């Protein structure tokens, strides 16, 4: 099983700032098979990024993904109040999909 | 528009089974894998497995092998997830989620639409 470790666990930033979230895999993951989701309290997750860097339908360009191998990053530029949520990375490179434990992005 | 509508909350006793449904609309039900993901209170997301609604083929997470059964009824575009031998740590919100691309393109895919979730509480 591929283990995904996200850091930091909690990120405290102010609106207007830039957020950088990390996802590290226990073994190399093809960038074609790495996704990021956003989840707000009481809601289902929402797909933001797939294939490590492709934005899903309707996702604004302030969200960007990058990385390869074992290290992946989600960057959110110009934070707005609605961006404060929990973010999960996911790998779907193997028949056993896994998620990271999540990064909570909170207002400072 | 694509919608996945799940059944309501359930309360079950330890050792019992629970069956959650997920009714799809707005797309070709048999054209995309349907995944199940759960989330314990205050915890992260845990993938449980997928079903190919076209063939009925399934692929379960190793953790749930032997305890989970995923089925579908194509006549009503509905998928089901049954979990047996329930324990207190099975208390969670259970989500269904649609694969983003058809399996003919890739069986490995992110999830582009999610159901609203169904809370299953296991308590004596």
Q: B21 — phi, psi (to 5°)?
A: -110, 160
Residue B64 has pLDDT above 90, yes or no: yes
pLDDT of residue A19: 98
Q: Which residues of B touch A1 (CB under 8 A)?
A: 62
State the nearest Cα–Cα gap between B57 and chain A, in angstroms.
13
* Helix, strand, or coil (residue A4): strand
Whether the Cβ atoms of residue B114 and residue B4 lie closer than 8 Å to each other: yes
Of the candidates A35, A92, A96, the beta carbon closest to that of B61 is on: A96
Q: End-to-end CA distance of chain A, in Å?
A: 35
Nearest CA in chain B to A36: B110
For residue B12, list its beta bridge partners. Answer: B122
Q: Which residues of A touch B110 (CB under 8 A)?
A: 35, 47, 50-51, 56, 90, 92
Query: What percentage of chain A exceeds 90 in pLDDT?
Result: 95
For residue B3, list its beta bridge partners. Answer: B25
State the nearest Cα–Cα gap between B94 and chain A, in angstroms.
10
Question: How far is C-alpha B5 from the chain's CA centre?
Answer: 11
Nearest CA in chain B to A104: B44
State the nearest Cα–Cα gap between A67 and chain B, in angstroms.
17
Of the candidates B110, B114, B117, the beta carbon closest to that of A92 is on: B110
Whether the Cβ atoms of residue B80 and residue B61 lie closer than 8 Å to each other: no
A 7-36 residues with CB below 8 A of B? 32-33, 35
pLDDT of residue B105: 85
* pLDDT tens string B70-123: 999 999 999 999 999 999 999 999 999 999 998 888 889 999 999 999 999 999
Ranges under pLDDT 70 in chain A? none
pLDDT of residue A32: 86
């Amino acid at each position: 099983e591929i283990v995904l470790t996200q850091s930091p666990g909690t990120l405290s930033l102010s609106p207007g700032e830039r957020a950088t979230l990390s996802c590290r895999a226990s073994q190399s993951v093809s960038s074609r098979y790495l996704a990021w989701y956003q989840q707000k309290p009481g809601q289902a997750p929402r797909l933001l990024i797939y294939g490590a860097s492709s934005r899903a339908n309707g996702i604004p360009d302030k969200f960007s993904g990058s990385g390869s191998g074992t290290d992946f990053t989600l960057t959110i530029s110009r934070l707005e109040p609605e961006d404060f949520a929990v973010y999960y990375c996911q790998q779907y490179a193997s028949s056993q999909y896994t998620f990271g434990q999540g990064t909570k992005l909170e207002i400072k | 528009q694509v919608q996945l509508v799940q059944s309501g909350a359930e309360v079950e006793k330890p050792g019992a089974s629970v069956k959650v449904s997920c009714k799809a609309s707005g797309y070709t039900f048999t054209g995309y894998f349907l995944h199940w993901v759960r989330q314990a209170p205050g915890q992260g997301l845990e993938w449980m497995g997928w079903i190919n609604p076209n063939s009925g083929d399934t692929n379960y997470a190793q953790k749930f092998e032997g305890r989970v059964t995923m089925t579908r009824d194509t006549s009503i575009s509905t998928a089901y997830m049954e979990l047996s031998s329930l324990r207190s740590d099975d208390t969670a919100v259970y989500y269904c989620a649609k694969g983003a691309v058809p399996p003919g393109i890739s069986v490995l895919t992110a999830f582009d639409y999610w159901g609203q979730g169904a809370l299953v509480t296991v308590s004596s």
